[in-house]
């Protein structure tokens, strides 16, 4: 260990003999200058990224791969690149159990550690943290969950939900159905099976607006938490014979829904889940009957990307992986890794904007607002065609809202991306975002920014 | 026949089947409450633990592998073999008996003579301990349950074609009845017959009933309370295993299995805490009631009525019969 510099008294005694010879004054100047510099420049601290994870409780099966992906990417940056801009990253993991109270406790206990950006990984925690993070000046990234209208950066100064929101998801599903049905959905019957919670109800308003525009029939089938018993809903689906079933589920609700759909012999290719209903564990328990089930996505699937080779080499093979290393390429692992990459890229931009490697949460927010993800950048990062190209601005915290579709192959037990990342109906969504964020702003006396 | 009536008949039958699954969970509660006066909050978690143990043994999973790997830097996950379902079932029963012994030896033996609320609180602690212990032992990922008796004779799932065709010929609409639900019904009937036969015609069964009637009197004739309680917890563990298999086959074996206890509470309120037939009849009434209510009233109030309606139905019964339909009326001298 290097002995710390203690000041003048540690200088070699013999130098004092040469005070008159001209050498010492020069040395003295240099030493003083170095000491002064050391005193003036603060110690380079780690870049702190809290991870509000849930490795226990009813949703652990989904929480673990996400948390592993998030952690492993930061470990990769440390091991391969020496951190971000040469500054090591530090992951602060805090277990929430997907419980809102615990999530808020995690936030309170970690925010003083120099946290740059929070990933609350829960819509409930997100709603609680929006006012807190805004007051504390710490940005929050709610990627593909949380409050959709937070995409309006004029109102939600510290909340970001790029590259896509639930409303993009709803519109993406309808656009996909339009494509599949020759651009006409008149008379098409769509049933929405949703978790009876704020999360599950998110797409309803958008779907109702799109229903007016495209003329499809929409029926709503709520499922109470946790969703272990869904017989009534699937009997209703069997009676009413919708053409398409959309699902906004999470946890055990997903597995039971896929099983029940298989039981009533609903055509799996007409069953589309949101991205939180489209992981491997959602379909594996239904076996071969789940073949053909589809899910929306805002990132690619599988492990055929150079970045995973690096993770294997620098993180897993060196025994530094957050998990056993067997989750690489799984949908939720990829999502966690993608979230970490977006945070790291925003941190890089923040370092560039402010000309310092040692960034603060305020600088990180600036970096997130200037984030631009291009295919060239993704390719350079070892993630070609891994996610959509998008940019963020002060006004737009939601990105471009491009949505893709994946499909499950039960024989190979893999998901495949079966469409490009395509635009969603921003005309409808933009109006809804303006409406919802506007009422939030007036309720909370928030003055619009970015003017 | 009017279309709505035909649909209602299908809903009614599915309600009966769902009721059997609820009753399977409720049975475990009844057994322990009847014998020891303990309301076992951990019954749902026991179902989870039993199902996880079954799948873990079946798949040759190394127990506590995460812990072993973290402590010793090893990379062990599986032994590399698969064990037939029946053998796994027997081994799991052994584990549940061991668990019952541990619960009795390390928890309830030290709480003899305590107030019922203390015993109840102890079961809450037990539930949380078992949740964590099961995660640590077998991992928290979702496990697929493939339970096969021999060769391809596995737990059937999906529509029963014979019923579908028969009802189609009768009503012009084929009823959906899940093969798994039919299997669960048969298993539940066999289980109840076995439990009744055990308690009526075996020495230990009679001793169990004697303990349930009066602890002091049972002690005075030489019945070992410790043994009987281990026996009761073991039987409840076996019932939890059966419930875990049936529910786990639907959704995969995962943490949420522990929440099925929530479905048993209204059944117990309605059927009574001390009656095995009460658990069955209560389960059927709750199952049919909630499904029919959802069918007729659900669409008018936005759906998702089943969870709360089950409790409302149980409360209505409680108003008229506080001890439940089959519960023992408590008469105390003042």
Suggest the residue from A232, A264, A287 to mutate for an interface test with chain B (most B CBs closer than 10 A): A232
A358-370 average pLDDT score: 97
Asked if A196 reaches chain B (Cβ–Cβ under 8 Å), the answer is yes
- pLDDT at A6 (0 to 100): 38
Token reading at B305 = 């009525």
With CB atoms and an 8 Å threshold, state whether A255 touches B254. yes
A223-238 average pLDDT score: 93
Same domain flag for A203 and A264: yes
- pLDDT at A44 (0 to 100): 59
Which residue of chain A is at minimal alpha-carbon distance from B135?
Answer: A56
CB A364 within 8 A of CB A347: yes
Asked if A323 reaches chain B (Cβ–Cβ under 8 Å), the answer is no
CB A218 within 8 A of CB A211: yes
Shortest Cα–Cα distance, B178 to chain A (Å): 7
Residue percentage of chain A with pLDDT more than 90: 85
Looking at the 3D structure of chain A, how many domains does it have?
2
Q: Give the SS3 label for residue A419.
A: coil
Higher pLDDT, A23 or B266: B266
With CB atoms and an 8 Å threshold, state whether A263 touches B141. no
Residues of A in contact with B294 (CB under 8 A): 232
With CB atoms and an 8 Å threshold, state whether A287 touches B144. yes
**Residue ranges making up the domain that contains A357:** 47-164+306-400
Task: Please name the helix (run of DSSP H) or strand (run of DSSP E) that holds residue A189, with its range, or none.
Answer: strand A189-195
With CB atoms and an 8 Å threshold, state whether A228 touches B255. no
Is residue A403 scored above 50 in pLDDT?
A: yes
Same domain flag for A288 and A174: yes
- At A16, the pLDDT band (50, 70, 90 cuts) reads very low
- At B37, the pLDDT band (50, 70, 90 cuts) reads confident
With CB atoms and an 8 Å threshold, state whether A228 touches B141. no
CB-nearest partner of B306 from A224, A238, A259 = A224
In a domain, A148, yes or no: yes
Higher pLDDT, A67 or B154: A67
Same domain flag for A262 and A334: no
Shortest Cα–Cα distance, B33 to chain A (Å): 26
CB A77 within 8 A of CB A83: yes
Is residue A20 scored above 50 in pLDDT?
A: no
Asked if A302 reaches chain B (Cβ–Cβ under 8 Å), the answer is no
CB A167 within 8 A of CB A203: yes
CB-nearest partner of B304 from A224, A239, A285 = A224
Distance CA B172, CA B175 (A): 10
In a domain, A153, yes or no: yes
With CB atoms and an 8 Å threshold, state whether A262 touches B176. no
Strands A271-273 and A294-297, bridge-based pairing: parallel
A-B Cβ pairs (cutoff 8 Å, strict): 105
In a domain, A269, yes or no: yes
- What residue ranges do the domains of chain B occupy? 3-149+156-320
- pLDDT at B211 (0 to 100): 85
Same domain flag for A317 and A369: yes
* Tokens 């003999």, located at residue: A17
| A246-292 pLDDT tens trace | 999 999 999 999 999 999 999 999 999 999 999 999 999 999 999 99
Residues of B in contact with A256 (CB under 8 A): 250-251
A305-327 average pLDDT score: 93
CATH number for the domain that contains residue A99: 3.40.50.2300
With CB atoms and an 8 Å threshold, state whether A264 touches B176. yes
Is residue A30 scored above 60 in pLDDT?
A: no
Q: How far is CA B169 from CA B162, B173, B175, in A?
A: 11, 8, 11
A428-437 average pLDDT score: 96
Asked if A235 reaches chain B (Cβ–Cβ under 8 Å), the answer is yes
- pLDDT at A93 (0 to 100): 96
Shortest Cα–Cα distance, A258 to chain B (Å): 9
Suggest the residue from B250, B264, B294 to mutate for an interface test with chain A (most A CBs closer than 10 A): B250
Residues of A in contact with B250 (CB under 8 A): 228, 256, 259
Distance CA A417, CA A411 (A): 16
With CB atoms and an 8 Å threshold, state whether A284 touches B145. no
Give the best-scoring range by mean pLDDT among A196-200, A431-435, B222-226: A431-435
Shortest Cα–Cα distance, A317 to chain B (Å): 12
Residues of A in contact with B159 (CB under 8 A): 263-265
Which residue of chain A is at minimal alpha-carbon distance from B251?
Answer: A256
CB A44 within 8 A of CB B239: no
Distance CA A51, CA B301 (A): 39
A162-174 average pLDDT score: 97
Distance CA B241, CA B49 (A): 8
Same domain flag for A101 and A195: no
- pLDDT at B213 (0 to 100): 80
B256-280 average pLDDT score: 89
Same domain flag for A310 and A193: no
* Domain end position, chosen among A269, A297, A325: A297
Mean pLDDT of chain B: 91
In a domain, A259, yes or no: yes
ipTM of the complex: 0.91
Looking at chain A from residue 243 to 272, which residues have their Cβ under 8 Å from any Cβ of chain B? 251-252, 255-256, 259, 262-265
Looking at chain B from residue 184 to 243, which residues have their Cβ under 8 Å from any Cβ of chain A? none
Token reading at A133 = 């993070």
Same domain flag for A81 and A154: yes
- pLDDT at B334 (0 to 100): 64
- pLDDT at A8 (0 to 100): 36
Which residue of chain B is at minimal alpha-carbon distance from A251?
Answer: B256
CB B212 within 8 A of CB B191: no
Handedness of CA B227, B229, B231, B237 (dihedral sign): negative
Residues of A in contact with B141 (CB under 8 A): 61, 64, 281
Same domain flag for A179 and A293: yes
Suggest the residue from B6, B303, B307 to mutate for an interface test with chain A (most A CBs closer than 10 A): B303
Same domain flag for A277 and A250: yes
Residue percentage of chain A with pLDDT more than 70: 90
Torsion of CA B254, B255, B257, B258, to 10 degrees: 160
A407-427 average pLDDT score: 97
- pLDDT at A42 (0 to 100): 44
Distance CA A162, CA A395 (A): 12
Shortest Cα–Cα distance, B291 to chain A (Å): 6
Closest by alpha carbon to A161, among A282, A275, A9, A249? A275
| B53-73 pLDDT tens trace | 999 999 999 999 988 988 888
- pLDDT at A17 (0 to 100): 39
Give the best-scoring range by mean pLDDT among A10-24, A25-39, A181-195: A181-195
Same domain flag for A205 and A291: yes
Suggest the residue from A231, A238, A326 to mutate for an interface test with chain B (most B CBs closer than 10 A): A231
Long-range contact set of residues A123-127: C-beta below 8 Å, sequence gap at least 24: A123/A147, A123/A198, A123/A199, A123/A202, A124/A100, A124/A198, A124/A199, A125/A52, A125/A96, A125/A100, A126/A159, A127/A198
Distance CA B206, CA B220 (A): 15
In a domain, A101, yes or no: yes
CB B267 within 8 A of CB B283: yes
- pLDDT at B332 (0 to 100): 65
Asked if A223 reaches chain B (Cβ–Cβ under 8 Å), the answer is yes
Shortest Cα–Cα distance, B94 to chain A (Å): 26
CA gyration radius for chain A?
25
Neighbours of A325 (CB within 10 A): 18
Residues of A in contact with B11 (CB under 8 A): 232, 235
Residues of B in contact with A55 (CB under 8 A): 140
Same domain flag for A233 and A285: yes
With CB atoms and an 8 Å threshold, state whether B259 touches A265. no
Pick among 1.10.3470, 2.40.50, 2.60.40, 3.10.20: CATH of B3-149+156-320? 1.10.3470
With CB atoms and an 8 Å threshold, state whether B298 touches A226. no
Is residue A71 scored above 90 in pLDDT?
A: yes
* Tokens 């052994």, located at residue: B94
In a domain, A429, yes or no: no
């Amino acid at each position: 260990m290097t002995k710390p510099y203690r000041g003048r008294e540690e200088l070699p005694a013999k130098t004092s003999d040469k005070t008159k010879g001209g050498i010492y004054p020069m040395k003295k100047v240099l030493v003083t200058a170095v000491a002064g510099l050391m005193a003036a420049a603060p110690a380079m601290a780690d870049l702190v990224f809290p991870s509000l994870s849930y490795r226990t409780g009813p949703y652990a099966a989904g929480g673990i791969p996400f948390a592993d992906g998030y952690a492993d990417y930061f470990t990769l940056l440390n091991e391969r690149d020496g951190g971000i801009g040469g500054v090591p990253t530090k992951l602060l993991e805090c277990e929430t159990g997907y419980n809102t109270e615990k999530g808020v406790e995690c936030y309170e206990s970690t925010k003083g550690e120099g946290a740059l950006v929070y990933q609350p990984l829960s819509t409930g925690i997100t709603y609680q943290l929006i006012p807190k993070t805004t007051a504390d000046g710490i940005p929050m990234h709610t990627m593909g969950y949380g409050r959709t209208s937070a995409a309006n950066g004029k109102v939600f100064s510290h909340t970001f939900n790029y590259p896509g929101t639930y409303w993009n998801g709803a519109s993406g599903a309808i656009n996909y159905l339009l494509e599949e049905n020759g651009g006409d959905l008149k008379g098409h019957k769509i049933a929405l099976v949703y978790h009876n919670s704020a999360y599950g109800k998110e797409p309803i308003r958008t779907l109702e607006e799109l229903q007016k525009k495209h003329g499809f029939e929409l029926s709503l089938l709520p499922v109470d938490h946790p969703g272990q018993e869904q017989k009534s809903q699937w009997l209703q689906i069997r009676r009413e014979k919708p053409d398409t079933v959309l699902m906004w589920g999470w946890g055990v609700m997903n597995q039971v829904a896929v099983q029940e759909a298989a039981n009533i012999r609903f055509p799996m290719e007409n069953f589309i889940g949101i991205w939180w209903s489209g992981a491997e564990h959602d379909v594996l328990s239904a076996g071969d009957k789940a073949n053909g089930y589809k899910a929306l996505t805002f990132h690619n699937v599988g492990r055929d990307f150079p970045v995973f080779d690096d993770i294997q080499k620098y993180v897993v093979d060196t025994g530094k992986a957050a998990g056993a290393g067997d989750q690489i390429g799984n949908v939720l692992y990829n999502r966690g890794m993608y979230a970490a990459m977006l945070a790291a890229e925003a941190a890089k931009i923040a370092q560039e904007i402010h000309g310092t490697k040692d960034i603060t949460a305020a600088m990180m927010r600036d970096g997130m607002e200037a984030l631009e993800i291009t295919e060239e950048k993704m390719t350079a990062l070892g993630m070609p065609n891994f996610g959509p190209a998008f940019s963020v601005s002060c006004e737009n915290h939601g990105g471009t809202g491009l949505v893709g579709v994946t499909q499950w192959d039960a024989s190979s037990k893999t998901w495949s991306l079966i469409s490009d990342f395509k635009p969603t109906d921003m005309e409808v969504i933009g109006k809804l975002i303006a409406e919802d964020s506007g009422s939030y702003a007036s309720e909370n006396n928030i003055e619009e920014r970015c003017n | 026949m009017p279309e709505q009536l035909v649909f209602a008949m299908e809903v009614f039958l599915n309600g009966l089947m769902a009721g059997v699954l609820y009753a399977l969970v409720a049975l475990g509660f009844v057994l322990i409450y009847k014998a020891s006066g303990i309301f076992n909050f951990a019954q749902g978690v026991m179902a989870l633990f039993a199902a996880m143990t079954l799948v873990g043994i079946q798949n040759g999973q190394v127990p506590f592998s995460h812990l072993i790997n973290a402590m010793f830097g090893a990379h062990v996950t599986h032994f590399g073999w698969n064990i037939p379902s029946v053998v796994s079932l027997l081994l799991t029963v052994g584990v549940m008996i061991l668990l019952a012994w541990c619960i009795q030896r390390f928890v309830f033996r030290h709480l003899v003579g305590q107030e019922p609320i203390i015993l109840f609180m102890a079961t809450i602690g037990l539930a949380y301990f078992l949740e964590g212990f099961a995660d640590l032992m077998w991992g928290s990922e979702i496990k697929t349950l493939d339970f096969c008796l021999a060769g391809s004779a596995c737990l059937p799932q999906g529509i029963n074609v014979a019923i579908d065709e028969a009802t189609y010929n009768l009503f012009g609409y084929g009823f959906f009845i899940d093969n798994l639900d039919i299997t669960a019904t048969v298993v539940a009937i066999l289980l109840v017959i076995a439990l009744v036969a055990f308690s009526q015609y075996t020495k230990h069964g009679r001793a169990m009933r004697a303990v349930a009637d009066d602890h002091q009197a049972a002690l005075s004739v030489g019945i070992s309370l410790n043994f009987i309680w281990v026996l009761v917890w073991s039987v409840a563990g076996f019932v939890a295993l059966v419930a875990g298999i049936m529910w786990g086959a639907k959704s995969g074996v995962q943490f949420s299995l522990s929440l099925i206890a929530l479905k048993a509470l209204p059944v117990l309120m309605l059927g009574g805490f001390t009656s095995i037939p009460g658990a069955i009849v209560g389960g059927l009434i709750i199952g049919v009631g909630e499904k029919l209510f959802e069918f007729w009233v659900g669409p008018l109030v936005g759906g998702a009525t089943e969870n709360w309606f089950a409790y409302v139905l149980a409360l209505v019964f409680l108003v008229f019969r506080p001890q439940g339909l089959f519960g023992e009326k408590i008469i105390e001298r003042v």
